Every structure is written in structure tokens, then in C-alpha cells.
């Protein structure tokens, strides 16, 4: 089944946005090509060709990021060259078939959306400390939500990981960042990157048994009051 709906669409890679009709379908023939094993949303969402962070899509077949979905875009070219057709817009979290450019509405893809941007209801947050069950990631590793391992980037960020893990145990701080409405109007990159990291660490249905704090550390580096994360420091400082 299919229906039509209006939405904002950018032609090419960075073109002017305008309203156009987008077909919405539930019967995409390429859903069996989606490979969750290669998906990794922990790093900065940059096009692998142009290095732009505008209008970026993730290929759900190979895991690479590409800009746009119009005929002159990197995602469009990739879909033709590699014959990869299922993508997700990393900002709107909508799924598309490229190059045909129709939107895919299928519940079987919703778990990908939840890994990209984990969601928690107030009821789930109230029960989070009562549930100490192990979770099993898609890669087969076991982990406890809230105590998931953090990547030690370039073997230099172990002291930062200690601070992050400690902050994850502060109940009021954790609960605050698990509720999007609490900081939706905040424009601080550090706040939003810490929010994303908190929600991924506490997510019980991750694809991997570890999380990378890469985006949060990149936001920290932009703040002059913080030490450079490439230098070992005492976590107490």
C-alpha cells in the first residue's frame, strides 16, 4: 500500500528546501538488504564524501553516511553504484528508498530508529533502577544498561570515561537527560551530546555491547574551559 504526503525535501546535496509530494509505501522490496550489524550511530554524522553535516542519510546496507537524496546527491550516486537502496535521514529519522525516493513506513525498521535516538517514557525511567537484568546486544555481547563499556579512543580517553561512568550513576542527572523535553530548547552542543550519550548508555536494546563517547568528546574539545581530551588527566580534576 502507498499514499502521498507533503514534506520538506532538499534537492541535491544542499539545495533549497521546498515542498514536494513524497510517496509513502509499506511494501519496499529491499528491506531484506538492511544489515544492522554494520550500523554505528556513535560518531559524528558527516557525509563520507563531502564531509558535510547537512541533510545526511545513513545507508542501512553498508552503514556509510551520505548527503542528500536528490539526483545530484552523494546518497543517490551511492544507491546506483552500490545498488544499496534503503536509507534513514539522521535528522528526521525517516526511512527512504533511493533512487526512487519514496518514504518507507514499516514497523520492522523502528528498532533502528530507537538505536539512533533511544527513547524513554516516564514509566520506564521510574523502573530503570529496579531492572538489573542483563541485555544481549545484536553482536552477541551481554551488558547491563547503565554500565555499558565505553570505547577508549586512541587509548587516551580512559580518564574521561571514568567521569562519564560516574555521572551515569547520579540518579537525578540521569533522569533529567533521559527526558527530551527537559532541554529541548537548549542550544549547547555539550548538553545535546551528553543527552545522546546518556540515552545510549541506558538503552536496553543496543546493537553493540559498548558505546563510543566520540561525539561528546568532540563537543568538549570546543569548550575552552575544558582540558584537551587527548591529554591524560586525573579524573578527580
Closest CA to 140 of 206, 60, 200: 206
Helix (H, G, I), strand (E, B) or coil at 124: helix
Cβ atoms of 28 and 104 within 8 Å: the answer is yes
Q: From CA 87, how far away is CA 95, in angstroms rounded?
A: 6
Beta strand 142-143 with 135-136: parallel, antiparallel or unpaired? antiparallel
> Band of the pLDDT at 153, cuts 50, 70, 90?
confident
Could you report the per-residue pLDDT of 115-143, keeping only the tens digit for each? 999 999 999 999 998 887 899 999 999 99
pTM of the prediction? Answer: 0.84
Q: From CA 188, how far away is CA 95, in angstroms rounded?
A: 28
Domains of the chain plus CATH, in order, are: 2-115 (3.30.40.10), 120-221 (no CATH)
Could you report the per-residue pLDDT of 18-58, keeping only the tens digit for each? 456 788 998 899 999 999 999 999 988 999 999 999 999 99
Could you report the per-residue pLDDT of 178-198, keeping only the tens digit for each? 998 888 888 888 999 999 999
> Band of the pLDDT at 157, cuts 50, 70, 90?
confident
**In the Cβ-directed half-sphere of 49, how many Cα atoms lie within 13 Å?**
14
Q: From CA 146, how far away is CA 175, in angstroms rounded?
A: 12
Q: From CA 92, how far away is CA 7, in angstroms rounded?
A: 11
Amino acid at each position: 500500500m502507498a499514499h502521498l504526503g507533503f514534506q520538506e525535501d532538499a534537492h541535491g546535496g544542499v539545495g533549497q528546501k521546498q515542498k514536494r509530494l513524497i510517496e509513502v509505501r509499506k511494501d519496499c522490496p529491499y528491506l531484506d538488504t538492511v544489515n544492522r550489524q554494520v550500523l554505528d550511530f556513535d560518531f559524528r554524522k558527516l557525509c563520507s564524501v563531502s564531509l558535510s553535516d547537512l541533510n545526511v542519510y545513513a545507508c542501512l546496507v553498508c552503514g556509510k553516511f551520505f548527503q542528500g537524496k536528490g539526483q545530484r546527491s552523494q546518497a543517490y550516486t551511492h544507491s546506483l553504484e552500490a545498488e544499496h537502496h534503503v536509507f534513514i535521514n539522521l535528522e528526521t529519522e525517516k526511512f527512504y528508498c533511493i533512487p526512487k525516493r519514496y518514504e518507507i513506513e514499516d514497523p520492522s525498521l523502528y528498532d533502528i530508529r530507537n538505536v539512533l535516538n533511544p527513547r524513554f517514557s516516564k514509566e520506564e525511567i521510574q523502573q530503570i533502577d529496579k531492572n538489573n537484568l542483563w541485555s544481549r546486544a545484536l553482536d552477541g555481547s551481554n551488558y547491563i544498561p547503565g554500565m555499558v563499556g565505553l570505547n577508549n579512543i586512541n587509548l587516551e580517553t580512559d580518564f574521561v570515561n571514568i567521569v562519564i561512568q560516574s555521572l551515569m550513576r547520579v540518579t537525578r542527572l540521569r533522569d533529567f537527560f533521559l527526558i527530551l523535553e527537559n532541554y529541548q530548547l537548549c542550544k549547547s552542543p555539550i548538553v545535546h551530546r551528553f543527552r545522546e550519550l546518556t540515552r545510549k548508555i541506558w538503552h536496553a536494546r543496543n546493537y553493540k555491547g559498548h558505546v563510543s563517547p566520540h561525539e561528546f568528546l568532540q563537543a568538549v574539545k570546543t569548550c575552552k574551559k575544558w582540558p584537551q581530551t587527548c591529554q591524560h588527566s586525573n579524573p578527580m580534576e
